[in-house]
Amino acid sequence: MRCLPAFLAVFFAAVVGAADFNGSEALEFTKKAVSFGPRPPGSPANRELRTYIKNQIRTRGGRLVEDSFTATTPSGPVQMDNLICVLPGTSGHAIVFTGHYDTKLFPGRHFVGANDGGSSTGLLLELMRASAGATHKDEIDIVWLDGEEAFGEWSDTDGIYGSRHLAERWAKEGALKRIRALVNVDMTGDRDLGIMQELNSDAALRKLVWQVANEKGYARYFLDHSSAVEDDHVPFLKRGVPALDLIDFDYGPGNSFWHTDQDTVDKLSAHSFQVVGDVLLDLVRRFNSQ
Q: Hey, which bits of the chain come out as E strands?
A: 63-73, 76-87, 94-100, 139-145, 179-186, 195-198, 222-227, 243-247
CA trace torsion 226, 232, 235, 241 (10° rounding) = -70
The model's pTM: 0.94
Rg (C-alpha) for the chain, rounded Å, is 18
Collapsing DSSP to helix, strand or coil, 287 comes out as helix
Domain ranges (residues) in the chain: 6-288
C-alpha to C-alpha distance for 193 and 69, rounded to whole angstroms: 34
The tens place of each residue's pLDDT in the chain, 290 residues long, gives: 334 344 343 343 344 456 899 999 999 999 999 999 999 999 999 999 999 999 999 999 899 999 999 999 999 999 999 999 999 999 999 999 999 999 999 999 999 999 999 999 999 999 999 999 888 999 999 999 999 999 999 999 999 999 999 999 999 999 999 999 999 999 999 999 999 999 999 999 999 999 999 999 999 999 999 999 999 999 999 999 999 999 999 999 999 999 999 999 999 999 999 999 999 999 999 998 88
Among candidate residues 235, 257, 231, the one with its CA nearest the CA of residue 246 = 231
Pairing of strands 195-198, 139-145: unpaired
C-alpha to C-alpha distance for 270 and 24, rounded to whole angstroms: 5
pLDDT at 19: 82
Among candidate residues 221, 232, 224, 190, the one with its CA nearest the CA of residue 207 = 224
pLDDT at 18: 62
pLDDT at 137: 95
Domain spanning 6-288: which superfamily?
Answer: Zn peptidases (3.40.630.10)
Among candidate residues 118, 101, 97, 112, the one with its CA nearest the CA of residue 26 = 118
Query: What residues contact 186, with CB distance under 8 A and at least 6 apart?
Result: 99, 100, 116, 120, 148, 231, 232, 245, 246, 247
